Amino acid sequence: MFESLSDRLGDIFKSLSGRGRLTKEEVELGMREVRLALLEADVNFKVARALVDRIRERAVGADVLESLTPGQQIVKIVNEELVALLGGEHRKLRYQSQPPTVVMLIGLQGSGKTTTCAKLALATRRDGHRPLLVAADTQRPAAPQQLEKLGKDNQIPVAMPDGKSKPPDLCKRGLEEARRLNCDVVILDTAGRLQIDQPMLAELREIRKKVTVHDTVLVVDAMTGQEAVNVAREFDQQVGVDGVILTKLDGDARGGAALSMKESMGKPILYTGVGEKVSELEPFQPERMASRILGMGDILTLVERAQSQMDQKTAEVTAKKMLAGRFTMNDWLEQMRQLRNMGPLEGILGMIPGGRQMIKNAGSMMPTEKDLSRMEAIVLSMTAHERIHPEVLKSQRRRRVAAGSGTTLADVNKLLKGFEQMQSVMKSVGGKGSKGVRGRARMLRQLQGMDPAQLGLPRP
Amino acid sequence: MSPTEPFSQPRREAWWRRMSRRMDRASLSFSEQVRDVVLLRRDLDESFWDDLLQVLVGADCGLPVAERLVDRLRTRVREERMTSAEEALRALKAEMLAVLEARDRRLRIVAVPTVVIMVGVNGSGKTTTIGKLAHRLQSEGRMVLIAAADTFRAAAIDQMRLWADRSATEVIAHQPGGDPGAVVYDALQAAVARGIDVVLVDTAGRLHTKVNLMAELIKVRNVARRVIPKAPHETLLVIEAPTGMNAIAQARVFHEALGLTGIVLTKLDGTSRGGTVLAIEEDLGVPVKLVGLGEGIDDLNVFDPRAYLDALFAGVLEAPGSAPGPATPAPAKPGAPKPATPKSGSAHR
């Protein structure tokens, strides 16, 4: 997500910061680029214009022009404005002291309301609540069945329609059901509708009349383009919106819609949907999102994901081995697998500061998932002894490994060479005392300086 | 057997009139923005071009396409010595038409059975489109069979069945969570045995960034080829009109994996302009074949670029057939002349 926007801003500010001081004309040029980049990332054009105006106002100030690194200053300003635009602290649902808390999900068709209902229910359960789902979508064929199935799979009670009641009555009955089952959170799944469909909007107002809704949440597809602002504004004016959930953020949508939301509606983004599994709903974090937009990396998310995938002890042992130069093919294999568990390589690299630039520089040299599979196959075709002592791999053995893994001799050679280089880098870092921030920074620099092609990645 | 076009002409015209009416309901419509540009900027100066660029981007055309269109238009304005903004916009419409026309948009029903696979990201409207398409093909006297190969999303098979019931189309389905390839294999075998004309394959929604799920689609296609070597005859990517620039990424990846034969643009009933189709057609050369608007079973039709642009520019240029102007007129600026009243007429020249 936001990939191209970070790339773009990275490019702009690389050229700006390279020049040191900025003239007013240069700032203008930079601002034009920022605006176009925002537009390309699906940020609404009016929002983009307003944002750029604010940034320019601050950027042409004396502080920036006299500073030695004006490019950096501008990046900082853009970052601050983005954070401001994306909203303040994360807000949870408005849990009521007097249960039940009622949350209504609304949005366009296909934005992901039904799936999000189940995800949100699990999130409330993590907060220590007992959720109940109400299937009030009587429009889309089989929508209640979908919710029923999701409820059943996750042990969440679902109030199903009786085939004759209208949605407002279904919601009211759902509340009664919640009291009966002692559930303290009720989530209403409504039918998808257009923001200009008057009868359908009236139905939502009717629901709000019949039951007290504490949070009306607009579900928006992160892939939405310029239309996002209209959708947000109309739903807010016609029905009233308290918060937003942004879905399908696991794709590569640049998600400019996120930027447009707060500005056009003034309502916070509560959660983001980041996968097809019902557990994949994350609290929205403006700082992280802004850092990502600017290509400043998202180390926090990376660390969290790494923690959820890696066993702390194993990681420490591996790190020690690495620094002592006793890093074997087995460790490498293990690391590669853990890395792949964390998601696609590009996504991971994108979260590291400068990672976007690395991907860009690597271009077609960037290893694909297929390359990684091939590397795995090569290591797996080695004997246990060879994996610990790769130096025994002479031409005869190399040819066997190539045949066994379905690769060529050149691929195997390349991988071994890369591994050797990596080991020597690790050793030198370890030797110079890698403790503390400086040592690690040095290691990062060395790793960044390496040609990705030399990481031993076989090319087709 | 030669390619046949399953949608009849007269029906189409009325439908497009309806569509331009619906597109006009927009409170902040494309045409309104264009009109702002026309009326408030009388001279063809830098700010005019810059605004025009933003208007095109605002319709989700994408920056590269918008820039190319504007550049071409500037050249033309210079060469043909145009002076008024209206002239320039008329030329713009012609430029856009040039991008969109000149492509074969017929649904190719070329074999018995013809296999049509519907793919797309989650929530784009695949199942609904298949429901509508089945109805249309059935009502034209073709025998249709639906393969419910979305075995992943909860209740997707139920949804497909309910749609199929409306047009009395038979559905081949397995258990939820089953192998989509197996569903397709069974459906195609049944189709061959029964002499079915068209098999519509519904697949699970998937983001184009999920490598494994894309591989699954390729497998489904390969399974289809085991039964019918030339299948699929149509591989249609379903994209919803409100999608922004990501639509281009989607189209590119799905095209690389499967070789798309067409695009279905759905949900063109809001206020979104679906300008991404311009980018996709210019970028990949994959034609938009069908458009969906609304939830009714009849709300599906072939894509007609001319009518699409008429609807897009309705209220700005008095294109024949455009419905009365937008519901909310642009805020009148002092000194600005009133917008030209569109003339009513037939949907096509």
pLDDT in tens, B119-163: 999 999 999 999 999 999 999 999 999 999 999 988 899 999 999
Give one word for A451, left, alpha or beta, with left for phi > 0 and alpha for psi -120 to 50: beta
The span from the CA of A281 to the CA of A187, in Å, is 15
The answer to which of A302-306, B141-145, B157-161, B166-170 has the lowest mean pLDDT is A302-306
Residues A381-388, mean pLDDT to the nearest whole number: 90
Q: Residue B195 in 3-state DSSP?
A: coil
Listed by number, the residues of chain B in 123-142 with a beta carbon closer than 8 Å to a beta carbon of chain A are 123-125
- Residue B199: pLDDT band (50, 70, 90) is very high
B294 touches chain A (CB under 8 A): no
Whether the predicted pLDDT of A236 surpasses 50: yes
The 10 Å CB-count burial string (b at 16+, else e) for B273-303 is bbbbbbbbbbbbebbbbbbbbbbebebbbbb
Task: Answer whether A132's CB lies under 8 Å from A159's CB.
Answer: yes
The 10 Å CB-count burial string (b at 16+, else e) for B65-79 is bbebbbeebeebbee
Contact state of B267 with A108 under an 8 Å Cβ cutoff: yes
The answer to which of A90-104, B37-51, B110-124, B211-225 has the lowest mean pLDDT is B37-51
Residues B251-258, mean pLDDT to the nearest whole number: 94
What pLDDT shows up at residue B2? 42
| Interface-testing mutation among B32, B33, B57, with chain A (most A C-beta atoms within 10 A) | B57
Q: Determine the residue type at B172.
A: I
What pLDDT shows up at residue A317? 72
Q: Determine the residue type at B117.
A: I
B57 touches chain A (CB under 8 A): yes
Cα dihedral value B159, B163, B169, B173, nearest 10: -10
Q: In whole angstroms, how far apart are CA A349 and each of A3, A255, A297, A344?
A: 11, 19, 9, 9
What pLDDT shows up at residue A205? 96
- What is the residue whose two structure tokens read 């002239």? B87
**Crossing angle (nearest 10°) for helices B276-284 and B63-79:** 80
Per the model's pLDDT, the better-predicted residue between A160 and B24 turns out to be A160
Whether the predicted pLDDT of A328 surpasses 50: yes
What pLDDT shows up at residue B313? 72
Residue of B nearest to A37 (CA): B63
**Crossing angle (nearest 10°) for helices B85-100 and B276-284:** 50
The answer to which of A44-48, A140-144, A290-294, B112-116 has the lowest mean pLDDT is A290-294
Residues A298-316, mean pLDDT to the nearest whole number: 60
What pLDDT shows up at residue B224? 95
Return the top range by mean pLDDT from A5-14, B18-27, B130-139, B289-298. Answer: B130-139
Per the model's pLDDT, the better-predicted residue between A289 and A311 turns out to be A289
**Residue among A44, A141, A225 whose CB faces B159 most closely:** A141
- Residue A390: pLDDT band (50, 70, 90) is confident
Q: Determine the residue type at A170.
A: L
DSSP 8-state code for residue B332: P
Residues A136-163, mean pLDDT to the nearest whole number: 94
- Residue A179: pLDDT band (50, 70, 90) is very high
Q: In whole angstroms, how far apart are CA A254 and each of A42, A212, A242?
A: 7, 36, 24
Q: What's the token pair of residue B140?
A: 């034209």
DSSP 3-state helix, strand, coil percentages of chain A (rounded to 5)? 60, 10, 30
Least Cα separation, residue B79 to chain A (angstroms): 28
- On chain B, the residues whose CB falls within 8 A of the CB of A42 are 60, 244-246
- Residue A95: pLDDT band (50, 70, 90) is very high
Contact state of B207 with A226 under an 8 Å Cβ cutoff: no
- What is the residue whose two structure tokens read 């980018």? B279
Task: Answer whether A247's CB lies under 8 Å from A111's CB.
Answer: yes
- On chain B, the residues whose CB falls within 8 A of the CB of A139 are 295
Per the model's pLDDT, the better-predicted residue between A344 and B88 turns out to be B88
Per the model's pLDDT, the better-predicted residue between A48 and A134 turns out to be A134
Q: Are strands A269-273 and A281-283 parallel, antiparallel or unpaired?
A: antiparallel
**Residue among B122, B163, B295 whose CB faces A248 most closely:** B122
Whether the predicted pLDDT of A445 surpasses 60: no
**Residue among A45, A109, A143 whose CB faces B267 most closely:** A109
Per the model's pLDDT, the better-predicted residue between A177 and A373 turns out to be A177
Alpha carbons within 13 A on the beta-carbon side of B39: 21
Residues B88-111, mean pLDDT to the nearest whole number: 86
- What is the residue whose two structure tokens read 């002499």? B195
The span from the CA of B288 to the CA of B274, in Å, is 11
| Interface-testing mutation among A36, A38, A189, A194, with chain B (most B C-beta atoms within 10 A) | A194
The span from the CA of A116 to the CA of A281, in Å, is 8
Return the top range by mean pLDDT from A278-287, A337-346, B129-138. Answer: B129-138
The answer to which of A173-182, B69-78, B148-157, B337-346 has the lowest mean pLDDT is B337-346
Per the model's pLDDT, the better-predicted residue between A239 and A257 turns out to be A239
| Global confidence as pTM | 0.75
**Residue among A229, A231, A248 whose CB faces B207 most closely:** A248
Contact state of A141 with B162 under an 8 Å Cβ cutoff: yes
| Average pLDDT value over all residues in chain A | 79
Task: Answer whether B275's CB lies under 8 Å from A141's CB.
Answer: no
**Residue among A4, A225, A253 whose CB faces B60 most closely:** A225
Q: State phi, psi for B224 to the nearest 5 degrees.
A: -60, -40
pLDDT in tens, A396-436: 999 999 999 999 999 899 888 888 887 777 666 655 444 44
Task: Answer whether A135's CB lies under 8 Å from A147's CB.
Answer: yes
CB atoms within 10 A of CB A366: 17
Least Cα separation, residue A140 to chain B (angstroms): 8
DSSP 8-state code for residue A279: T
What pLDDT shows up at residue A460? 35
Which residues make beta-bridge pairs with B148?
B202
B299 touches chain A (CB under 8 A): no
- On chain A, the residues whose CB falls within 8 A of the CB of B162 are 141-142
